[in-house]
Chain A
Amino acid sequence: MDDVKLLVTEADFDPGAEIALLSAGAGDSGALTTFIGLVRGATDGVSAMTLEHYPGMTEREIAKIVAEAQARWTLGRVTVIHRVGRLLPGARIVFVGVAARHRAEAFAACEFLIDWLKTRAPFWKLEETATGDRWVEAREADDKRALRWES
């Protein structure tokens, strides 16, 4: 698991440093893809968001999802960082980075990881708005995106 970095943390991350780490250990990888999720801005009337998770199970589920990706594609280094706690609009929430031999695997594995992370890893978002707090509802569209990988 030296090739895998998993982190659930309140702290922000440095995307440049994470990309440097992924590419430094690339070995025979020829492609590196990343996904970064952000707190959507004020257009939704959201002034802040608090991410809650299930310590222990979160890390286990992310490790399982990464193992599943490694079973499907030949991957180099993989990094998944997910923040928890209170975040403001524009803040980085999640980083997924995948190195692979060719771009097709790198793109596919990165999309698979974020799709499954969204529907399997036990995180919940509580939004703060002018009219009070509200829990983000799970989206059917996210379930459908994750289920595409079942076939």
Chain B
Amino acid sequence: MKIVYFAALRREIGVGEETVTPPSDLATIAHLLDWLKGRSPAHAKALSAPRVMVAINQDYAGLDSAIAAGDEIAFFPPVTGG
């Protein structure tokens, strides 16, 4: 599973992309977030921000969304383009 981070999250975690193999019983984004927070104090801090947005395979998703092994999952702050 490929995890990508953008903007403030990327800077805080220190990488823009990482490949992880979470336990197979992690069914949703909420579970994955909790598991990722255990990877480092920087992960824990960045991923605990009040509004973390998530996308699965480049489509917006939510905490209840189901995850699968081959997914590309992105975490990022609220967007500020335009």
Contacts and interface: CB of A to CB of B under 8 A. Distances in A.
Given A57-B58, A135-B8, A124 B82 contact: no
A54 B82 contact: no
B81 interface: yes
B9 to A, nearest CB: 10
A137 B74 CA distance: 19
Contact of B6 (A37, A56, A124): A124
B7 A135 contact: yes
Interface string A49-71: 00111101100100000000000
Interface in B36-82: 51, 55, 58-60, 74, 76-82
Contacts of A56: 58
A114 interface: yes
B82 A121 contact: yes
Interface residues of B, number: 17
A37 B79 contact: no
Nearest to B10: A52
A54 B81 contact: no
Contacts of B7: 52, 124, 126, 135
A54 B80 contact: no
A125 interface: yes
B56 to A, nearest CB: 10
B80 A136 contact: yes
A138 B58 contact: no
Contacts of B6: 52-54, 122, 124
A124 B81 contact: yes
A126 B79 CA distance: 11
Contacts of B60: 120
Nearest to A96: B82
A119 interface: yes
A32 interface: no
Interface of A: 37, 51-54, 56-57, 60, 82, 93-94, 114, 117-126, 135-138, 142
Interface of B: 4, 6-8, 51, 55, 58-60, 74, 76-82
